[in-house]
Structure 1
Amino acid sequence: MRCSLADGERPPQFVVISFDGAGVGNGWFRAFRESAARNRATLTFFLSGVYLLPSDHRRLYRPPGHRRGSSDIGFQRPARMRLQARELTAAWNAGHEIGTHFNGHFCGSRGVNSWSAADWRSEIRQFHRFVTDWRRNSGLTHLPDLPFRVREAIRGGRTPCLQGDRQAMFRAFRSYGWRYDASGTGVAAWPRKRAGLWQFPLPGIDVGGRQVLAMDYNLYAVQSGARPGPRRLRDRWERQAGRAYERAVERSLRTDRAPVFIGHHFASWNGGIYQRALLGLMDRVCTRQEVRCVSFEQLADWLDAQTPATLARLRGRT
């Protein structure tokens, strides 16, 4: 996707949709793959490595600062790993990006916030091993392997709970040749590099007059306190979520066309309303002439193809 802009030319409106964890629960992985095919979209799936590590091999995982074999999101059953590998294979073969959401999803002061660069490197090495050795660890050696080499395929990620010491993280990420980090929060703006990595932060979007992070969990927290809400309100909440996403795209289209970033999980919070809102958004915007629904790596490709003068212009500087 290396297409440099001519002087004065307006950029496309990039929309980047990504999924944390990228597990196979509830059939959402397949639903979004099918929507992407229908709408000419490319997605980023941030895989949690423990979703390719069976429970009976949990002690292979040595999480920094935590008990060996522990994980705040559990591990996987071999039968589910078969489906996980199938979905990852289909996604990769369709041109989608596989990134990392690391492994055990440890948040808070005793979680990734306390990790050193060496801790992050350990976590990344273990992610590589779990993804590479999934057939041997699960006993499913008769199945085909994944169609990518994980060390070369992973070019960026999103940390658990968007946390972590940036200086330590970025030292580790650069040592693996990564191109970007998607762990931050911020405002809708043209991306910049920090420590050699493109920064792709989740922005705030307007939801009923409140600024809410553009992520399904945050909508869930605002609308129903991160607990299942009354069924009678769910249709209204779904429309509200869809409108919030679409307004963010429309606002950027009318102004500087800064990329719009949306993060989700494959969860069915409030009966799946946030997933349906996002699927509806893809149907409405991804095939529009001015819009490109792309992966993070594709956006990094495009940004790297621009001249410094073009990037300065996009950021509003002369």
Structure 2
Amino acid sequence: MRMNLPKEVAIIEVGPRDGLQNDPSMVPTPIKTEFITALKRAGIKEMEITSFVSPKWVPQMKDASEIVRAINDSSRNIVLTPNRKGVDLALSEDCKAVAVFVGVSNTFNMKNINKTTLDSLNELKPIIAELKEKNIFVRACISTSFYCPYEGKIAVDDVISLCSAFVDSGVDELSVADTIGMANPKESFELFSRLNELFPQTLLTAHFHDTRGMALANVFAALQAGIHRFDTSAGGLGGCPFAKGATGNVATEDVVFMLHQMGISTGIDLNALKDAVKLIEPHLSRPVESKYYHLPESE
């Protein structure tokens, strides 16, 4: 029996945004731009580079405009925008790719942006329409797609309903997240199989956290479900400030190593990727935990 494996996979790097947002050590802006540049040298073509959020709630992202101005190239540089104000700031900086987000869980959404899931969706629909009129790439991040730290297990139909509403609104991509890292491979395979069947014309991206050590297994399960795009974070950095207990995203270098070992192309140079992690490591408040990063050089 043959495995259902693609010839190539797209890696969407989220380390500069999702990876750094929850780190209490304030990383200097020049270091962030060096980090992003080093990741691009490694072959990253799509990346969440920053977030236009309130510095009161996420102080690490207060230099968003400076980051956008410093990183000006033709690759897909995505900025996260939680609301109308964030979108306006992104547009004022001439950003070409914007991410919006909503939690499937009402409680998580209220904790995160003080709105219900439905209210957030209704607020975003006209914004998405406006962005598409301006030919902006729109990525919809679907948080708590498997489990919520407040509500527990999330119903698959609720995830599908929210994804469907975003697809109907015209988004280009759905990034479906295991925000607190509780999903198992069976759940991942089942959800992404259904999403792949229902939304064949939409870019589908899987976003896993490694809280319980199952992120790589979940990546493999999503691959089997036909998913060829994955959010990953160099060094396994990350964690959500509104999801207690959520640890880092699955490490870019671990995912890329696994894929390359299986003969799947990513276009990413692992040695250059490791160099990017070395650059950011001294500025972090916690150690880098990815497995590949700590392998001896001869490996």
- Max radius of gyration: which structure? 1
Q: TM-score, normalised by structure 1?
A: 0.44
Q: TM-score, normalised by structure 2?
A: 0.46
**Larger relative contact order (C-alpha < 8 A, sep ≥ 6)?**
1
